């Protein structure tokens, strides 16, 4: 489950004792779990702040409440507190928070969506763009919609053929082609404007 070092427990206990609120504990939850933007939220919580479905982890002198919807993403997390010359630092390592790469036995849809969200979109975000999967046909053709800076961009065709299609076909067995289903004429803020016809 979750490992909380003695130094981290001692750190939380000191802070909780200073507040002197009955039943005060620590709540841990995953924000945007399963995505590249995933992060951990750690906050103090009183009993009336709880939803009622949290998992309780008994610690020395307090309870760590784990958000029920975050359990699968925080399994195996480690919380530590290290003392340094300039003060202390709390470290939280949650190796599953961004999700886990789907197994080869996962559906084509799962494997394509994972790669789009965790590899392709972070690269497109550099140009304020993104793609979303519209459809995956039975014969492995992936239809994408471009958005943000990619919607109406003059380089969308190059991005599709030399970047996205190449990546999906190399890394996701079963993908046979990638097609653009976007109406680029309706783009309002392209990264590179399309040439006028």
Strand, coil or helix: 142: strand
State the CATH class of domain 108-186. Answer: alpha beta
Q: What pTM was computed for the model?
A: 0.61
Query: Which residues of the chain does CATH 3.30.300.130 include?
Result: 108-186
Q: pLDDT (tens digit, 9 = 90+) per residue, 110-119? A: 999 989 988 8
Residue 154, pLDDT score: 85
Confidence grade of residue 136 (pLDDT, cut at 50, 70, 90) = very high
Token pair 């975050």 in the structure block, residue = 70
Is 141 a residue whose pLDDT tops 90?
Answer: yes
State the CATH class of domain 3-93. Answer: mainly beta
**What is the rounded average pLDDT for all residues in the chain?**
90
Cα gap 34→146, rounded to integer Å: 21
Q: pLDDT (tens digit, 9 = 90+) per residue, 37-89? A: 889 999 999 999 999 999 999 999 999 999 999 998 999 999 999 988 888 89
Helical segments of 116-154, H only: 121-124
- Max Cα separation, the chain? 71
116 phi, psi to nearest 5 deg: -60, -50
């Amino acid at each position: 489950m979750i490992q909380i070092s003695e130094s981290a427990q001692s750190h939380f206990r000191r802070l909780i004792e200073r507040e002197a609120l009955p039943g005060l504990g620590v709540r841990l939850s995953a924000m945007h779990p399963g995505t590249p933007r995933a992060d951990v939220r750690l906050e103090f919580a009183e009993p009336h702040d709880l939803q009622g479905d949290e998992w309780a982890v008994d610690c020395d002198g307090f309870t760590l409440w784990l958000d029920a919807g975050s359990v699968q993403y925080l399994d195996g997390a480690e919380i530590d507190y290290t003392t340094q010359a300039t003060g202390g630092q709390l470290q939280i390592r949650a190796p599953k928070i961004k999700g886990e790469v789907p197994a080869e036995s996962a559906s084509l849809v799962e494997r394509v969506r994972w790669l789009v969200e965790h590899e392709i979109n972070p690269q497109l975000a550099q140009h304020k763009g993104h793609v979303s999967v519209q459809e995956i046909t039975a014969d492995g053709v992936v239809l994408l919609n471009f958005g943000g800076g990619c919607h109406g961009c003059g380089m969308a065709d190059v991005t599709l053929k030399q970047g996205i299609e190449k990546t999906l076909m190399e890394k996701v067995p079963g993908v046979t082609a990638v097609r653009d289903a976007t109406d680029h004429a309706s783009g309002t803020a392209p990264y590179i404007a399309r040439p006028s016809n």
